Amino acid sequence: MNYYERPTPLQEQAYTEARQHFAEHLKQFKANCDAFHNIECNLPTTANDTFRAAIQSSGHIIQTDDGTQWQHAVDLTKITSVCHRRTEAGLEFAVVECLPLKSREMKDVLNSGHDAREVLQTFAHDQRKVFKLWKDDVTAQVNEYLGEKYPHQDMTIVTESFEIKLARAISERPAQTQKQSHGVRI
């Protein structure tokens, strides 16, 4: 596939329509990527703050669904935070998610360990996998949408442009996103 190939007017039209149809997806994807990149950039500072909170044994208590009690250290997002607790093996750190569902609040340990920085790095690594899952699903949905709207038309270039756009949002740091992109307009 030549990504520098010029799209046909029909493909341009399909792209515009798909972009409108998936506007909320793209908006949320971009916002979450930006928030994630900020977490990644601040990871060393967050790890230090977490360690400091653990040493001081400060923070309110959060009991996760498995019954474990943690002390809150630093918020990562609205629903995820880094927590700590003392164990026989020493300090333990965890990323805890408090997810308010309509019927209850789900409190879950996403990952844990004895090194705050490693715990945060694992969290960041896992988030990248989630973004990839999201990207693949949006691409599949765009493919389905275009297949139904433009049957018997080759819309590969349109689907791929969405995929590339989402992949770039995952990989690019905020400072890099300002660079000019070349080739097919996406």
Please, what is the minimum distance in Å from the beta carbon of residue 110 to another protein?
A: 7
Please, what is the minimum distance in Å from the beta carbon of residue 101 to another protein?
A: 6
Please, what is the minimum distance in Å from the beta carbon of residue 28 to another protein?
A: 5
Please, what is the minimum distance in Å from the beta carbon of residue 65 to another protein?
A: 11
* Sites of contact with another protein (CB under 8 A): 24-25, 28-29, 32, 79, 97, 99-104, 106, 108, 110, 126-127, 129-131, 133-134, 136-137, 139-141, 143-144, 147
Select 51 or 143, whichever has its Cβ closest to another protein.
143
Select 44 or 147, whichever has its Cβ closest to another protein.
147
Select 104 or 182, whichever has its Cβ closest to another protein.
104
> What is the enclosing helix (H) or strand (E) of 23?
helix 23-41
Q: How many helices (H) and strands (E) does the chain have?
A: 5, 5
Do 186 and 162 contact (CB within 8 A), yes or no? yes
Distances (CA, A) of 73 to 53, 105, 121: 6, 20, 16
Distance, C-alpha 58 to centroid of its chain = 28
Could you tell me where the beta strands, DSSP code E, fall in the chain?
A: 61-63, 69-75, 80-87, 90-100, 105-113
Select 101 or 175, whichever has its Cβ closest to another protein.
101
